[in-house]
Amino acid sequence: MTLVNDAAPAARSTGRKFRAFTAKHLDELTARAGLTPEQRLATRAVATVLPFRTNAYVIEELIDWSAAPDDPIYRLVFPQEDMLPPEDVAHLSDLLRREAPKAEIEAAARAVRRKLNPHPAGQMELNIPSFGDGKIPGMQHKYDETVLYFPKQGQTCHAYCTYCFRWAQFVGEADLKMAGDDVTALRDYIAAHPEVTSVLFTGGDAMIMGEPVLRRYVEPLLELEQLESIRIGTKALGYWPQKFVTDPDADDMLRLFEQVVKSGKNLAFMAHFTHPRELEPLVVAEACRRIRDTGAVIRTQAPLIRTINDDAVTWETMWRTQTRMGLIPYYMFVERDTGPQDYFAVPLAEAYTIFRDAYKNVSGLSRTVRGPSMSATPGKVCVDGVVEVAGQKVFALHFIQCRDADLVGKPFFAQYDPNAVWLDELKPAFADRFPWEK
């Protein structure tokens, strides 16, 4: 077996034991950001509805506290009082202020969550396949060639992003959570569906798991000749790169990656980097080097988020830096229609302008990136541009992926709307319906 390349001593010295911070630490941390007592109470109110978790690395290495609460990394991980409707924040703040019973607070928070579209794009109704005697917990199969799996032990993260479209996984409501641990059922389902060539482990974050647990999910899949790739969706490189450098099982984890590559599978890390600052610490470059030295590839993706990365220079900087580090820019997403979408969403027309202005300034090696892309109910819709056709200003779009594979790559048009932020706000152009509509 190939030996895992040792990390440089300087990078190893940056390691520290993982320490999580949760909602019980919010008052102390938001005081550090200069929030008033009333603002801190409102932040705690939002955190009863949406999940909050961060760690010492994010707090000490990534956040610029002199710029908080406007610092982009602070806004990336800390709830904001205006993320929810004012009347809901006021009601929850009042409950916290008068120290209402825990059950009453949880009931009020649950009522707010139900208004936030916790599982968008038909995830629960359309994506969960039936197999054998019923449905397989923790599995989604939306596109023919790709199966998503949510390992039970990977349904948390080193830190939570405030924009996360998987927020419902982390709020403690069993009927909102997707998770499974039946590896045999996963393997048997794939074997029974020869069109499946790729598995994506998602969550949460599979990299929250230790090597022995991840191995239990991955090894049985290496026997399936039909599989071409195994993908791991992860924010660990941004929020806890020590996972691959100084954590106790870092070397064992990298040996597992080597095993996947030696089996003939493509191992791809779908790494979420939301802001250039997440790429700056030396330990990130070392973690990326160690992963790439196993033969795995690292593709980068993130959504376009208002107040955090909604300008072309930020994206240009990210893509250039990632290319220098040997990473492959992959997706710019549009903020999904769930949670506090109204707070974070950027209009599609503006999103396209930001994408184009960044894209035109990078080399061809960075132009592997696609976007702006919406992961909507019918599929991944890419905004290709704003054009004038037959005297009408329209959006040009196409499907990168689609439930109906025959529609992949086919262009279609929507009436131009400068305020639209999502597919369901668009109206078809030059037709009475969109291609996927019956």
- Cα-flanking dihedrals φ and ψ of residue 374, to 5°? -105, 125
The Cα–Cα gap between 51 and 62 comes to 20
Contact between 318 and 300 (Cβ < 8 Å):
yes
Name the pTM for this structure: 0.92
Q: Which residue from 230, 233, 256 is spatially nearest to 244, judged by alpha carbons?
A: 256
- Reduced to 3 states (helix: H, G, I; strand: E, B; else coil), residue 303 is strand
The Cα–Cα gap between 353 and 355 comes to 5
> What structural domains does the chain harbor?
20-115 (no CATH), 122-295 (3.20.20.70), 332-437 (no CATH)
What single DSSP character describes residue 160?
-
- Say what the alpha-carbon torsion angle 152, 155, 158, 164 is, to the nearest 10 degrees: 160
Q: Where are the beta strands (DSSP E) in 280-426?
A: 297-304, 328-334, 370-375, 379-389, 392-402, 411-415
- Say what the alpha-carbon torsion angle 114, 346, 40, 113 is, to the nearest 10 degrees: 0
The Cα–Cα gap between 206 and 150 comes to 8
pLDDT tens, residue order, the chain (438 aa): 333 444 333 444 445 689 999 999 999 999 999 999 999 999 999 999 999 999 999 999 999 999 999 999 999 999 999 999 999 999 999 999 999 999 999 999 999 998 988 877 677 677 888 888 888 899 999 999 999 999 999 999 999 999 998 878 887 777 778 889 999 999 999 999 999 999 999 989 999 999 999 999 999 999 999 999 999 999 999 999 999 999 999 999 999 999 999 999 999 999 999 999 999 999 999 999 999 999 999 999 999 999 999 999 999 999 999 999 999 999 999 998 888 888 999 999 999 999 999 999 999 999 999 999 999 999 999 999 999 999 999 999 999 999 999 999 999 999 999 999 999 999 999 999 999 998
Which residues on adjacent β-strands are paired with residue 148?
140, 200
CB atoms closer than 10 angstroms to residue 67: 12
